[in-house]
Structure 1
Amino acid sequence: MKYQGSCHCGSVSFQFDADEITSGVRCNCSVCRRKGALMTPYVIAPESLQLEVRNDALQVYRFGSGIAAHYFCKQCGIYPFHQTLRKKDHYRINIGCLEGTDPFSLPVEVFDGASL
């Protein structure tokens, strides 16, 4: 399936092709617990994510080991995706940022990022 998404203001938009999203993942690490976002159950390879950023809006936050990169729009503050700790340079997408996908209708798994 082709997925399209964006931050709230549209300064960060993206698309990717992937299997149908039938569930989501939440992480319980200190950052993800506070964000509360539901993420794709699979990672997206960097070459599969087509990204468009206007006004230099995409910013990154790193903590701990500095490997995981949590991206957000500096215009509206929305967190559209992150690069993962376990599979460097691959992305998990915030399902709430995807057009036509209801994050509240999906079953959820919890990833124990707090124990890493």
Structure 2
Amino acid sequence: MLYKGSCHCGKVAFEVEGELGMTVRCNCSICRRKGALLWAVPHETLNLVAWGDDLGRYTFGKAQIAHRFCRTCGMHPFAEDVSQGSGRTAYININCLEDIDLATIEVVEFDGRSA
């Protein structure tokens, strides 16, 4: 299924193809603060539709994940691992997807604080 998503102001927009099942609530210092529910997908299924100069990047700790955000509204629509080549993963914040009934989505807790 094709899902469409964006930041709050719409300057960062994307599409992602896949079957939305389980999501993860991570307790690392950034995910806990932004309240993200993350859906891990193969990076090649994420298609940026709009971003321009508005797509910011933030890394911390081991700098393995690039947390992406809109420089205009501050929303964090997705993150991505920074490795190169095949096998990369994108982490979609399902709170930024259109037409999702959050009550129907299974949420699993992940101890990112200890990872």
Q: 1:27 maps to what in 2?
A: 26
C-alpha displacement at 1:71, in angstroms? 0.4
Letter in 2 for 1:74: R
Q: 1:70 maps to what in 2?
A: 67
Structure 1 gaps of 5+ residues are none
Moved over 4 A (4+): none
The structure richer in strand per residue is: 2
Q: 1:2 maps to what in 2?
A: 2
C-alpha displacement at 1:85, in angstroms? 7.7
- How many Å separate the matches in 1 of 2:41 and 2:103? 21
Structure 2 gaps of 5+ residues are none
Contact (CA 8 Å) 1:80, 1:94: kept in 2 or not? yes
Q: Which moved more, 1:46-55 or 1:65-74?
A: 46-55
- How many Å separate the matches in 2 of 1:65 and 1:103? 31
- How many Å separate the matches in 2 of 1:105 and 1:72? 26
Identity of aligned residues (%): 46
Q: How does 1:47-86 map to 2 (within 5 A)?
A: 47-84=44-81
- How many Å separate the matches in 2 of 1:89 and 1:53? 21
- How many Å separate the matches in 2 of 1:44 and 1:108? 15
